[in-house]
Structure 1
Amino acid sequence: MPSNGNQPLTLQFGLINHEGRYLTAERFGYKVNASAPSMKKKQIWTLEQDSQAAYLRSHLRRYLASDKDGRVTCEADGRHSDCRFLIVAQSDGRWALRSERHLRFFGGSGDRLSCFAQGIGDGELWAVHLALHPRANLLSVARKRYARLSAEDGQISVDANVPWGVAAILTLVYRNGKYCLKTCDGRFLGNDGKLVQQSGRTATYTLELKCGKLAFKDCEGKYLSPVGPAGTLRSGRCSKAGKDELFDLEESHPQVVLMAANGKYVSMRQGVSLAANQEDETEMETFQMEMNKENNKCTFRTSRGNYWALVAHGSIQTTATQVSANSLFAMEWLGHKMALKANNGKYICTKKNGQLLAVSESIGEIFRFCLSVSDLFPFVKSLLSGEDEQLSLKLVNRPTLILRGENGFICHHKNSNTLDASRSVYDIFSLQFSDGAYHIQGANGRFWYVDSGGLVCSDGEVPEDFSVELPERGRLAIRSSGGRYLRGDQGGTLKADGLSLSSSALWEY
């Protein structure tokens, strides 16, 4: 098990033919074609492998298959012998897909796809475009350590037991069939291990898949690997990918600091017991939130690897070494604040000495009433800062956001000041914390705001307050100052009109 408690991300990708078109699974008749110019939901495929062959599953959860006459379909709801393909990787990173049963290669263009070619030509080669969110943690398979930006050395070091802070987040940038590795400060990894400002030839890599693991091949045919005691990530001498050259991508968990009603940060600096008694943010005040997929409760992990846990008399301590019922907490989002409920059914509150105890029966009826009428009387929230159960949560390892919803990425609209939530490319937005609220800023220095018609615009001169919620693993939700969720409609327009949390209001980040 990786040391961050994660399984590697499921490999999802688009397949691009020799004409630059993506393999597409249509809902009507479960037909397939290669006609789409960009990768959206219908162009995403999931790789399932056994020891010998691979299966390609569409977004409709149906499997690609080929019969003895080369006819290709995608309607099988289970894996069988016609669905088994052998991946024949080429030196440039492209794949040839060969039917294991019928020994023919899959290729073609438009709606003229078949699996009948006896050899590999240009029409049978497919470029692989990862469909994962571009930001992730990178784990070395051999060293069992995570990559992180070592700013003082000007390199990426593969030496972290736990991927802590924004320095451990890398962005995979896709460009013309190849990939660049971008650090949190906007630099790119060159094959000599040095970080550069521009992604030129020596900072571009062919991505290869080896038994479900990733390898990065440089322009000279050598592979990235951790080198030396510090694990400097650079191209080694190997022109073959062995265990030292293999990596896993893992989801990057949110890391947060929590401020209690007394204006102090929750800390473990005083020992195993948690108390809100610090005025600055260090690793002792930073906690990793790991969401449970089954019940959407969360754990809080320290930089030392321990978890918050409910112990005797409602005390909260950082003593758990593994996840149990007493280390899971339910979250309630309260505008710019939030509350945590422990396994004993009680809310965590802050005592006068700063100690955290799960002993409160409720958050407070006055606060609940004011929250329910906050659209009519928004000023009343400011009167409630003394509630002992309320916490301000600040997301510290996402100073910038790349947001992807069910229809695509959020990007500036080409012809207006609104935002498009259905693009295959993304824009990067700055996330700025302000007294429990967040301001979202584009690269042009202008801010997001909601206009009178509910449209989210991106050219504001003055920042507008938004609330950020973390309702489930790997996704966040954003609420406007009016309390409505931001969601992408069917046409891709970003609107602040969601009355409740739905799939269209959830964003990978």
Structure 2
Amino acid sequence: MSTNGVSQALKPQFGLVNHEGRYLTAETFGFKVNALAPSMKKKQIWTLEQDDEDGQTVFLRSHLGRYLEADKDGKVKCEAETPNDDCRFLLAAQPDGRWALQSEPHQRYFGGSADHLTCFAQSFGEAELWAVHLSLHPQANLLSVSRKRYAHLAVPEDEITVDTNIPWGVDSLITLVYQEGKYSLKTCDNRFLNNDGKLVRVAGPGTDYTLEIRSGKLTFKDYEEKYLSPMGPTGTLRSGRCTKPGKDELFDLEESHPQVVFQGSNNRFVSIRQGVSISANQDDETDMETFQMEIDKETKKCMFRTSGGTYWTLVSQGGIESTATEITENTLFDIKWLGRRVALKASNGKYVCTKKNGQLAAVSSIQGDDEQFVMKLINRPILILRGESGFVCHHKSSNTLDVNRSVYDIFTLLFNDGAYQIKGNSEKFWYISSDLVCTDGDTAEDFFFEFLEHGRVGIKGNNGKYLRADKGGTLKGDADRVDTFSLWEY
């Protein structure tokens, strides 16, 4: 049985884009490389590894687990199962965020176009510069390596501070916005972080950062070549004076699990405010009523973590308490998706019900009204979805959606009594027409989210069909079987 922690650091995987806007690709056949792909899919994803003894030397590993290598004649391939001398590169990050990759043993630069890639240039020019496009899901929690604290929107101070021990609630969601090789940091209320620490509605030069990867950690460099770091007692996030990053400028991106609130059949919120027992007895939502839903990768069952770091667990006589500190069979629950409501089945095979005094207990054999809960996702007010072949994005010339794009659109998610309504930048709503998901609706249409496996969500339309990507990469709402989308993983 797998055990999922509070969150897991995401490995910085990425695509490399050449001067023609094409992605470096590792082909399965013959371990050849080219720069022909116009978008980033599995073959275009690379992982950066660094030499443990020499931190300046890097290796590029493909999706096949093979390493990029260049010989003395400048010929390039991606065949080595373990790094050898020809796999050693030196990485020089440029002010515009692009990388120049130099063969360490042969002192030549890697570049080119289409299927004519070589590592033979004595100096680098446009053809030898590569833009870095992260392939991980762009919504995550941001952890300061030095402070070991998480970034979150501090509403009273109107800034991002790095001073919380756990990433809890909607304020801890950070969205990375990628555009033309640079990244911006967006808060949950759709504002951008300026390099002076202020939050602004409109992106500009001060909100654009160059992403650098150092020893598997991320740094964010502004247009003045200064680095973001937490400053002062509360860790206000802004650019400091450093032009060379140290530990204070290093960050990890970590998984942002769904965090939810439940309402019982008595219309009151499920809470731990009264102690260790889990009861539906509150009229407002606070951290005490918020639970992190972690899905076990093997069993697909759910665990519910409290803000204090403990888990819901089944105890004697079917009681539900928040006393577990480790994952066991009794901390796992099956979720039954019932449209606008959910039911929870505990490890004793019984459904969790809301008793007359509000306490939760797994004592029911049926799914009646008392065994049904409203479950609301609270930490995705802005939504980015990724399918198997790419991100969900507006089609360039129609009112439909593509599901195979390297770039992504950010949508607004609105809750409606157990269902969700999805709105685009044009303030128009998603709806299903002739099995197509359209984006120009004047009135909202309900969709239903089902969290079925780690990192992924199934979405069902009002027509009872699931959303899916067709062979042409268009989002449709006509599937009888669930087709999941990434909500926070790759």
* Distance change (3 Å), C-alpha of 1:57 and 1:334: farther
Equivalent residue for 2:237? Answer: 233
Contact kept? 2:279, 2:359, Cα under 8 Å: yes
Mean Cα deviation higher: 116-125 or 247-256: 116-125
Given the alignment of the two structures, is residue 288 of structure 1 paired with residue 292 of structure 2, yes or no? yes
* Distance change (3 Å), C-alpha of 1:445 and 1:91: closer
1:176 pairs, out of 174, 180, 190, with 180
Q: Match of 2:417, as an amino acid?
A: D
DSSP-derived class of the 2:471 partner: coil
Given the alignment of the two structures, is residue 474 of structure 1 paired with residue 439 of structure 2, yes or no? no
Cα displacement string for residues 53-89 of structure 1 (whole angstroms, at most 9, x for unaligned residues) = 544333444433334433222345x324167333422
Q: Match of 1:396, as an amino acid?
A: I
The Cα of 1:394 is off from its aligned counterpart by: 0.5
In structure 1, stretches of 5+ residues that fail to align are: 365-385
* Distance change (3 Å), C-alpha of 1:211 and 1:412: same
Alignment of 1:261-276 (within 5 A): 261-276=265-280
Distance in structure 1 (CA, Å) of the matches to 2:154 and 2:93:
34
Contact kept? 1:148, 1:167, Cα under 8 Å: yes
Equivalent residue for 1:6? Answer: 7
Question: What is the alpha-carbon root mean square deviation over aligned residues?
Answer: 2.3
The Cα of 1:20 is off from its aligned counterpart by: 3.4
The Cα of 1:50 is off from its aligned counterpart by: 4.5
Equivalent residue for 1:421? Answer: 403
Distance in structure 2 (CA, Å) of the matches to 1:415 and 1:205:
30
Q: Match of 1:22, as an amino acid?
A: Y
1:403 pairs, out of 373, 376, 385, with 385
Equivalent residue for 1:507? Answer: 486
The Cα of 1:442 is off from its aligned counterpart by: 2.1
The Cα of 1:149 is off from its aligned counterpart by: 1.0
Cα displacement string for residues 197-226 of structure 1 (whole angstroms, at most 9, x for unaligned residues) = 222222222111110001111222221111
Contact kept? 2:178, 2:407, Cα under 8 Å: no
Given the alignment of the two structures, is residue 79 of structure 1 paired with residue 60 of structure 2, yes or no? no
Contact kept? 2:467, 2:482, Cα under 8 Å: no
Alignment of 1:308-319 (within 5 A): 308-319=312-323
Given the alignment of the two structures, is residue 158 of structure 1 paired with residue 171 of structure 2, yes or no? no
Q: Match of 1:456, as an amino acid?
A: V
2:251 pairs, out of 244, 247, 254, with 247
* Distance change (3 Å), C-alpha of 1:296 and 1:82: farther
Distance in structure 1 (CA, Å) of the matches to 2:45 and 2:222:
26
Mean Cα deviation higher: 281-290 or 407-416: 407-416
DSSP-derived class of the 1:244 partner: helix
Distance in structure 1 (CA, Å) of the matches to 2:64 and 2:463:
36
Alignment of 1:297-446 (within 5 A): 297-361=301-365, 363-364=366-367, 386-446=368-428
Q: Match of 1:492, as an amino acid?
A: G
Q: Match of 1:15, as an amino acid?
A: L
DSSP-derived class of the 1:126 partner: strand
Equivalent residue for 1:32? Answer: 33
* Distance change (3 Å), C-alpha of 1:82 and 1:498: farther
Cα displacement string for residues 310-369 of structure 1 (whole angstroms, at most 9, x for unaligned residues) = 2222211111233333222222222222222223333222222221112234x44xxxxx
Equivalent residue for 2:439? Answer: 458
Equivalent residue for 1:373? Answer: none
Contact kept? 1:55, 1:79, Cα under 8 Å: no
* Distance change (3 Å), C-alpha of 1:329 and 1:55: farther
DSSP-derived class of the 2:171 partner: helix
The Cα of 1:420 is off from its aligned counterpart by: 1.7
1:489 pairs, out of 470, 479, 488, with 470
DSSP-derived class of the 2:380 partner: coil
Alignment of 1:135-214 (within 5 A): 135-214=139-218
In structure 2, stretches of 5+ residues that fail to align are: none
Distance in structure 2 (CA, Å) of the matches to 1:410 and 1:456:
11
The Cα of 1:496 is off from its aligned counterpart by: 1.4
Contact kept? 2:399, 2:440, Cα under 8 Å: yes
* Distance change (3 Å), C-alpha of 1:246 and 1:475: same
The Cα of 1:480 is off from its aligned counterpart by: 1.4
Distance in structure 2 (CA, Å) of the matches to 1:486 and 1:310:
35
Contact kept? 1:85, 1:97, Cα under 8 Å: no
Q: Match of 1:339, as an amino acid?
A: A
DSSP-derived class of the 1:284 partner: helix
DSSP-derived class of the 1:388 partner: helix
DSSP-derived class of the 1:123 partner: helix
Distance in structure 2 (CA, Å) of the matches to 1:256 and 1:90:
40
Cα displacement string for residues 137-163 of structure 1 (whole angstroms, at most 9, x for unaligned residues) = 110000000011112212110011111
DSSP-derived class of the 2:369 partner: coil
* Distance change (3 Å), C-alpha of 1:360 and 1:214: same
Contact kept? 1:392, 1:436, Cα under 8 Å: yes
DSSP-derived class of the 2:276 partner: coil
Distance in structure 1 (CA, Å) of the matches to 2:431 and 2:86:
49
**TM-score, length of structure 1 as denominator length:** 0.88
How many equivalent pairs are there? 481
Equivalent residue for 1:277? Answer: 281
